[in-house]
Structure 1
Amino acid sequence: MADTGRQADQAAMVANRGVTSYVRVVELPACSRCIILAGREYGVSSGFLRHPRCDCTMQPVTRRSRPTPLDAHDLFESMSPAQRRKTFGEAGTKAVEDGASVSAVVNARKGMDRVEMFGRTAQVTRTGTGSRRRKRPPRLMPEEIYRLADGDRNHAIRLLYKNGYLR
């Protein structure tokens, strides 16, 4: 049903010359992938990326009206602690609360792997390590960072910087 409504909205936007683009509007509760797309603007003819049971909608942008929907950080701030843990995991939530980018934490999960490092198995990601042509070492996942920091917040923040979650 939701897909039919989105398709009708998109057809109406294409037919209306006053509509220049649309903005993705995310309703909570939502998955982490939808949250990082919140507030992004797309061309009218661009397809609306979604998954089963996705509650996201689109809001038209015209020359006279530019909506200001919540972005990923705003949505994170509006979530309860339980919703944050459910959506981003314990370490992901802690990393964002310590200043990490929501999208960096979520996208790190795409390239997640386990490698032998420091004499034990460590969780790492290859996403966000730079050029595909140049082989760079993987970066630690937030879970691994907080495990290595062992309760030392300053050490965790240093590792978040070193691994590209903070700038």
Structure 2
Amino acid sequence: MVGNVRVTSYVRVVELPACSRCIILAGREYSVSQGFLRHPRCDCTMEPVVKRRKAPVLDAEDLFQSMTPDQRHRTFGEAGTKAIEDGSRISSVVNARKSMDQVEMFGRTVQVTHVGTGSRKKPRRPPRLMPEEIYRQAESREHAIRLLYKNGYLK
């Protein structure tokens, strides 16, 4: 690719089945000289982008829609899948898992994430509830949607 002057960049192509981290990076564009990290058994590839012609590549939402319900549950978990189907951003659900914790809130121990609240050592805002905790606490779908919005999964 470096020798071909028509190639301006490349995009990450994700083949299913894939892990949730790879799925949220699907369709991301990289410069010709920049690589992307892979994990063991990663099937992601790169596709060159030629000047004036962008390659049609599936992004995270397209990949999610093309997955079977069983693939969705294996990749994102039951609550994560439900949150995404209810309109949450896939990246918010996946990234929340990077900094999961259990804290004492509402008079009981709940699952939270520190992602999107500041640093773990000096949080600027209180921790956010995990989707699993939101669906445990929600009394109805409307209540779950309000909690997803309040906790930053929906915009």
TM-score (norm 2): 0.95
Structure 2 CA distance for aligned equivalents of residues 30 and 90 of structure 1:
17
Structure 1 CA distance for aligned equivalents of residues 87 and 154 of structure 2:
6
Name the residue aligned to 1:139.
128
Which structure's residues are more often helix, by fraction?
1
Q: Secondary structure at the match of 1:108?
A: helix
User: Which amino acid in 2 is paired with 1:96?
Assistant: I
Identity across the alignment (%): 76
Structure 1 CA distance for aligned equivalents of residues 74 and 45 of structure 2:
22
Deviation at 1:131? 7.2
Structure 2 CA distance for aligned equivalents of residues 30 and 94 of structure 1:
18
Name the residue aligned to 2:88.
100
Is the contact made by 2:24 and 2:59 (CA closer than 8 Å) also made in structure 1?
A: yes
How large is the Cα RMSD of the aligned pairs?
1.4
Structure 1 CA distance for aligned equivalents of residues 117 and 3 of structure 2:
42
User: Which amino acid in 1 is paired with 2:30?
Assistant: Y
Q: Secondary structure at the match of 1:20?
A: strand
Structure 1 residues 163, 70: CA separation in 2 closer, same or farther (over 3 Å shift)? Answer: same
For each residue in 1:48-67, what CA deviation from the matched residue of structure 2 results, as whole angstroms up to 9, or x when unmatched? 22101001110001114211
Gaps of 5+ in 1: 1-12
Deviation at 1:74? 0.6
Q: Is the aligned partner of 1:48 residue 2:36?
A: yes
Gaps of 5+ in 2: none
